[in-house]
Structure 1
Amino acid sequence: MITEVEIRRGRENGQYVLLVDDRQFHLLRRAVSVFSYQEESAVARALVTGAEDVTLAEPLQLDVSYDDVVPGPVELTFAQLHAVYGILTSLPTVNWVEEEFVERVGDFRETILRMALLLRSGLLRSGLPV
């Protein structure tokens, strides 16, 4: 069960480090990957992520095979954190029946939304500025 996400200041000013467990890391990775493949419209991607050019490939190791991924803390800019949050909150609204959603994303809509809530509460608890 997903219980908490701690967020700390990153190496550089304006960076956030998400301290996530392996399951949370893979959930974020799958959600972003599914969104990237299913959403072909650049306008819709920008609407959800808040920017046209935000990239999440490096921090979530999207270009790495599953067997070679090293789960752990995820360092993001605020724009990238916003993009992940936007993806987590919008992905459950895709018009797939529940079985198809679970097959594609690997988890239930409620779990994806819970992860979004954990990011939000983690950021609020961190007290870090935007």
Structure 2
Amino acid sequence: METEAVIRRAEGTGDGSAGGSYVLVLPDDQFHLLRRAAVVFAAQEQSPAARALVLGSWDVSLDEPLQLTLPYDDVVPGPVTLTFAQLHALHAVLTTLPTSSVWTEEEFVGRVGDFRETLLRLASSLRWGITVRTGEAGG
């Protein structure tokens, strides 16, 4: 699975600071993996306080951008528009789920749909994408 995420600033949403919105452009299989990871995380993490700790806020939700309330057959993958808080929450899900679950690798793949390493590479790709987007790439 290709794991390079492209992040761009949503039109008319500011100067690149933490405010405004970002558009995450990724292949359909990655969209569905993100969606599945968010669903599994929500089912696994029943405590609202623990969920807020991981996601960075009591109020952040990935329901709308990842179409979590829709049945799978009704989901239309494509670019995902996220606030910076939602982008952070998505990154947190991708890094927390592989490292906090006690499932065997087979169980993890069965629940999430891919390997732990794939989620971690996708999280790394988000970090790289936001670094490029904000012009803070070092080197």
What range describes the TM-score normalised by the shorter chain of this pair?
over 0.9
Q: How far apart, CA to CA, are the structure 1 residues paired with 2:123 and 2:44?
A: 19
Q: How far apart, CA to CA, are the structure 2 residues paired with 1:79 and 1:122?
A: 15
Q: Any conservation in 1 of the 2:3–2:30 contact (CA below 8 Å)?
A: no
Q: How far apart, CA to CA, are the structure 2 residues paired with 1:29 and 1:99?
A: 19
Q: Superposition RMSD on alpha carbons, in Å? A: 1.3
Give yes or no for the alignment of 1:116 onto 2:114.
no
Q: How far apart, CA to CA, are the structure 1 residues paired with 2:12 and 2:64?
A: 16
Give yes or no for the alignment of 1:101 onto 2:123.
no
Count of aligned pairs = 129
* Equivalent residue, structure 1, for 2:84: 78
* Equivalent residue, structure 1, for 2:6: 6
Q: Any conservation in 2 of the 1:8–1:128 contact (CA below 8 Å)?
A: no
Correspondence list, 1:27-106, <5 A:
27-93=33-99, 94-106=101-113
Using structure 1 for the length normalisation, give the TM-score. Answer: 0.94
Amino acid at match of 1:34: V
Q: How far apart, CA to CA, are the structure 1 residues paired with 2:29 and 2:51?
A: 25
Q: Matched residue of 1:86: which SS?
A: helix
Gaps of 5+ in 1: none
Gaps of 5+ in 2: 14-19
Distance apart, 1:65 and its partner CA: 1.1
* Equivalent residue, structure 1, for 2:17: none
User: In percent, how many aligned pairs have the same letter?
Assistant: 62
Distance apart, 1:59 and its partner CA: 0.5
Q: Post-superposition, which runs of at least 4 consecutive aligned residues in structure 1 deviate over 4 A? A: none
* 1:97–1:3 CA distance, 2 compared to 1 (3 A): closer
Q: How far apart, CA to CA, are the structure 2 residues paired with 1:42 and 1:84?
A: 16
- The structure number with the bigger radius of gyration is 2
Q: Matched residue of 1:76: which SS?
A: strand
